[in-house]
Structure 1
Amino acid sequence: MTDEESADPTEDLPADGDGDRPAPTDEPFSIATFHEASQHVGRPVLTAASVADALEYSQAVATERLEALAEAGDLQRLSVSTDPVVWYPTELEDLTDRERVVVFPKRREIVVDRPDQFTRAQLSQFAHLEDANGEESYRYVVRPADVWQAPHDSFADLQRTMRQALDQRSDPLEEWVRSQWDRAHQFRLTTHEDGYTVLEGDNPEVMGNVARQKLDEEHVHAPISETEDWVREGAEAAIKRILYEAGYPVQDHRDLESGEDLAIALEVSLREYQRTWVDRFAERGEGVFVGPPGSGKTVAAMGAMAHVGGETLVLVPSRDLARQWNDTILEYTSLEAHQVGQYHGGQKHVRPVTIATYQIAGMDRHRSLFDDREWGLVVFDECQHVPSDVYRRSTRLQSRHRLGLSASPIREDDRQTEIFTLVGPPIGTDWQALFDAGFVAEPELEIRYVPWDDEEQRNAYSSAEGRERYRIAAENRGKIDEVRYLLSAHPDGKALIFVDYLEQGRELADALEVPFLSGETPHHERRRLLEAFRRDERDLLIVSRVGDEGIDLPTADLAIVASGLGGSRRQGTQRAGRTMRPAGGALVYVLATRGTREEDFARRQLQHLGRKGMTVREETVDSEQVTEHDGDR
């Protein structure tokens, strides 16, 4: 064949009305090509013009190729009023009848319609659930951290899980995942035969270009070889954090203390997903149990304690939680009272299982008490606090096993990755799976936009600036009437009312003649009120920010958030989550002053819960409605 005969046959063809664009006729065009165009455009239903634009064809050639795929049965066509014809894959026709997975490798996104629990469980091993729309559609994103933390011993195992979950092979996505897997195995912390810690790199290049560029004399003493550095004592956590942020997570292979043996038997049966959490923790020796309130993270942690079978230190944010941990351990395990101690401002007992506050554990004058004991397991409860400067000190207590617990490991300062570098990778089940299985009841969540009570407050808001504006909107006195209305609409419910400001809490307490539980409430009085609520001797409490995580609030049928969701996404999760228990029918109302920054804050923070699969409604309360509310009481 001559050069002339092998030339592109489309070189001298007319452009078919598309300017100078060539019209290729011999390039392969298959359903995979259509999917490539679909990914480029960002939707599964395309016109010939959009295919031509995505693939740089002429529209005439694109139409010809689409017609051919339609004749082969791979595509369907549909005439619509806005365009002569649209095209979509035949497989979309039975979308309502079966699970369907669509992979967008360039964006590293996976969209799954009607996934079964097996698929969701497989996806959770290498992807992050970004959005969920009930049972209909789930959107997963594969982030570097998801690959770094995948619970697999080899890339081949991870690859097998991906193909099972996707029911297909996606070479571009697999290549990217392989590159991230390799990054996650470049560095290791090991223990030298003389007892000190060594940082190892896979090769001299990565050691010199990454580790020795990022670390300094605060972290390492000196090089031992081209691929090894001698680590300063106590710098291990900082090294893991720095290299993680550089995109190179560190494998921790140190010979850490396992503590004295301690026989612990769990005297309650774990749910299937809790057993999965414990199994994944057992594989790695570290991790963070992530699940909604009511999913049993504390009981699962006791399953991890039983697996480790060693002396355990539990770190908590407050003495109230320390007391509750103490009671729960004695109730659900074989341990006896003399084996469990609390160490905080009220008590100071170090025992085989010790429950201490983060603040005490981080203080230099108490550190030796914890350092002198070899802990087999350290549990970081409410571990979203760990990156804060006060709490981070406690992470120097590096045992062989580390476990964190959190309903929502989110930080508004975007330092949540430090949680996983200092404690361990996330281990959890997507919220929708727990809703579907009936382990946790999905509450009905509604934002109610409340009008101003009077012109004085409205004018004060208009003239204020910054945080003061938000405080005035939060303390809108019109919310008192709305709380009264909601309580009267649910006369048989046990209710918790949350506030962010002490003055608002006091006003509500006076108006409703009920106790207000805040940080100013003495510990003994706080305990008495909560126990009365648990025993159904009280059906209403007003709770300040102290109730978000420092104490274990009893289950409620009704939660009214009078103010506070503008604070953080984590706060929204904690407060809405107070109604998430196996019993159904729970309601959460969020009150926001209409037309203010509080309205925007509430909507934005609750989008976080919407992405976890919860349904969020919105309702505007008008002035006439408020008058009707008053008349109904």
Structure 2
Amino acid sequence: MKTEGAIIVQSDLTVLLDERSLSAHAAREQLHRFAEARKRAGTIHTYRITPMTLWHALDEGWTGEQVVEALKTHAKYDVPLQAEGFIRLWASRYGKLRLYAEDAVLFLNGDADILESLGRIPSVMAWVQTVRSPEIWQLAPDCRGLLKQELAKQGYPVMDQAGYHAGESLSLRLREQTVRGTLFALRDYQERAVGSFIQDGAARGGSGVVVLPCGTGKTVVGIAALARLCTATLILTSSRTSAEQWREELLDKTTLAPDSVGLYNGKVKEVKPVTIATYQLLTRRKSKAGDFTHMGLFNERDWGLIIYDEVHLLPAPVFRMTASIQATRRLGLTATLVREDGCAEDVYSLIGPKQYDMQWKEAEKGAYIASVSCAEIRIPLDASQHHSYSAAAARSRLRIAAENPGKLPVVRELLERYRDKQTLVIGQYLGQLRKVASELGAPLLTGETPHEERLRLYDQFRSGRINVLVVSKVANLAIDLPDASVAIQLSGSFGSRQEEAQRVGRLLRPKQGDNRAWFYTLVTEGTKETEFALKRQLFLLEQGYEYMQLSGAEACGSGLRSEAANG
């Protein structure tokens, strides 16, 4: 036993990290490269190593032996042989299966022993037309995406070297000076991200995911990839507002003419050389059993590139369509690859592997994003709610705790402390948000807010004509609120790590002056909400953020004053 060891590795590749250990920070830095945080209980963080988390590490240059050695370095006890065996087995499969094409015929090449094992799986053999040799299978021509998806589920990653078609050519370049009159050049990390995706002539280029913190210019990376490839491009994004922002950025930073960039939404349906649509529209249909009305957009032009903005939100029908267009280059953009629906394997197999990843704290050190201080404020359940909470079912208990009226005085105190800052008050439940907006005399923005009214509120918020905006979960998406310096979270979607990251992300755009921001999450003490709050914070904790814990009394007294002053 090593008394200084920070982790305990279990045989099923569950890893327990004790944050009280002196080496906990170093261990965490290693773990978040090849393991996923699952939960936190007190000072113990629980991680899990899976084939997917290991493949991402191997994509970034790790080896299986390096992962095993990292675990041994930080383990309090010996690493179980079974755990070592799993890691070595999964690592041994990486890079051993290769898809390639000759004269439009698709082949799978691999280690003979691996192909022999796969030959016993009916769902894999359904796509095999001919066994050319123990190392080469000839495949059905339309199976490229579906086979990769199935093999990933079976624990076998595939190197896709079958190539891409060029698509419809498009003439454009990046501007050195934007239409708005500012000088423009890619930052170093944006250049690296684009280069990692393109990888001219390399086996792994042309498809994959770029992971960058909110506010670091993911849109610019997509635009630069488009300009490098000079091909007709379909851009899929999370909202109509985001789609319009993409169009504005394209026209500002490239030589594309306005009539070459089209919006495809509920109001207008323009199919142009560069077309921007939303996931919501693509997945619209008249009935649950009906066809998706607008999915044909994937075949409207000879797209040479498809960009999936906020790829962590990609809905299942778009995954299915993506499986059939594997000859088109695909770029996913996101701030976090965390998915709560278990579809991480589908992103890996159908969009592509992680090509570039910048850690949030790395971006903060470079002053590319604001430095955010996070705090969790625990508030007693309001006396009027005790009986209803005790009598309620589990799901109802969470909502009662989330809508605790005792949160409003703390919100008022925070707004007073940061009265000179642009502040978002964010929540999950519309009834709660309406009441808070009314009490504060602040405008409310929800999914029901008309698009034109949203744009008006955004403009007023950015210009400083209003400095408090109450928003529902529409704030989780790519909304351009560059001047938001404070966010107060009233309630959230159960234990969504993804949502917590997106909400903190609303604060990350660089600020004038000290480049700082503050995120507060209000949690009802002694209820189900505290349990979900711990899970929500996991992604940010693994990125190096820390949550200061305050009581409601401290928040309304000197504790908050001190915290606000010192950040």
Q: TM-score category by the smaller chain?
A: 0.7 to 0.9
Between the aligned partners of 2:443 and 2:483, the Cα distance in structure 1 is 17
Distance 1:212 1:358, change over 3 A: farther
Q: Report the TM-score, using the length of structure 1 for normalisation.
A: 0.71
After TM superposition, list the pairs within 5 Å mapping 1:606-617 onto structure 2: 606-617=537-548
Matching residue of 2:364? 435
- Secondary structure, in 3 states, of the residue corresponding to 2:374? strand
Matching residue of 2:463? 535
- Secondary structure, in 3 states, of the residue corresponding to 1:617? strand
8 Å contact kept, 2:59–2:353? no
8 Å contact kept, 1:264–1:333? yes
Between the aligned partners of 1:125 and 1:192, the Cα distance in structure 2 is 39
Calculate percent identity across the aligned residue pairs. 33
Distance 1:524 1:443, change over 3 A: same
Is 1:392 matched with 2:301? no
Considering Cα pairs closer than 8 Å and 6+ residues apart, tell me whether 1 or 2 has the greater RCO: 2
Between the aligned partners of 1:546 and 1:158, the Cα distance in structure 2 is 37
Matching residue of 1:509? 437
Is 1:568 matched with 2:496? yes
8 Å contact kept, 1:411–1:570? yes
- The structural deviation recorded for 1:591 is 0.6
Distance 1:112 1:127, change over 3 A: farther
Q: Report the TM-score, using the length of structure 2 for normalisation.
A: 0.79
- Secondary structure, in 3 states, of the residue corresponding to 2:516? coil
Distance 1:323 1:482, change over 3 A: same
Unmatched segments (≥5 aa) in structure 2 = 39-45, 74-80, 176-183, 200-204, 284-290, 561-567
Matching residue of 1:209? 117
AA of the residue aligned to 2:536: Q
8 Å contact kept, 1:126–1:142? no
- Secondary structure, in 3 states, of the residue corresponding to 1:347? coil
CA RMSD in angstroms, aligned pairs only: 4.0
Which of 266, 275, 280 lines up with 2:191 in the alignment?
A: 275
Q: Deviations over 1:24-60 (max 9, x none)?
A: xxxxxxxxxxxxxxxxx24448xxxxxxxxxxxxxxx
After TM superposition, list the pairs within 5 Å mapping 1:226-375 onto structure 2: 226-267=134-175, 268-283=184-199, 284-361=205-282, 364-375=292-303
8 Å contact kept, 1:496–1:543? yes
- The structural deviation recorded for 1:186 is 2.5
- The structural deviation recorded for 1:145 is 4.3
Which of 393, 396, 409 lines up with 1:481 in the alignment?
A: 409
Matching residue of 2:178? none
Matching residue of 1:30? none
Q: Deviations over 1:81-133 (max 9, x none)?
A: xxxxxxxxxxxxxxxxxxxxx9x9x9899998999xxxx9xx899756979xx
Distance 1:466 1:108, change over 3 A: closer
8 Å contact kept, 2:119–2:125? no
- The structural deviation recorded for 1:226 is 4.5
8 Å contact kept, 1:547–1:553? no
Q: Which moved more, 1:557-566 or 1:261-270?
A: 261-270
8 Å contact kept, 1:257–1:375? no
Between the aligned partners of 1:125 and 1:451, the Cα distance in structure 2 is 34
Q: Deviations over 1:218-274 (max 9, x none)?
A: 644554555444444543222112211222111112232221222332333222222
Between the aligned partners of 1:569 and 1:42, the Cα distance in structure 2 is 32
- The structural deviation recorded for 1:542 is 0.7
Is 1:621 matched with 2:552? yes
8 Å contact kept, 1:497–1:542? yes
Between the aligned partners of 1:213 and 1:349, the Cα distance in structure 2 is 45
Distance 1:270 1:129, change over 3 A: farther
- Secondary structure, in 3 states, of the residue corresponding to 1:264? coil
8 Å contact kept, 2:495–2:533? no
- The structural deviation recorded for 1:588 is 0.8
- Secondary structure, in 3 states, of the residue corresponding to 1:215? helix
Matching residue of 2:100? 190
8 Å contact kept, 1:258–1:399? no
Matching residue of 2:287? none
8 Å contact kept, 1:432–1:613? yes
AA of the residue aligned to 1:543: V
Distance 1:593 1:277, change over 3 A: same
AA of the residue aligned to 1:566: F
Q: Deviations over 1:553-594 (max 9, x none)?
A: 444011000111634010111111211122222111111112
Is 1:591 matched with 2:522? yes
8 Å contact kept, 1:314–1:355? yes
Computing the radius of gyration over CA atoms, which structure comes out larger, 1 or 2? 1
8 Å contact kept, 1:125–1:146? no
AA of the residue aligned to 2:389: Y
8 Å contact kept, 2:124–2:150? no
- The structural deviation recorded for 1:329 is 1.3
- Secondary structure, in 3 states, of the residue corresponding to 1:261? coil
Unmatched segments (≥5 aa) in structure 1 = 1-40, 46-101, 132-138
Between the aligned partners of 1:624 and 1:561, the Cα distance in structure 2 is 14
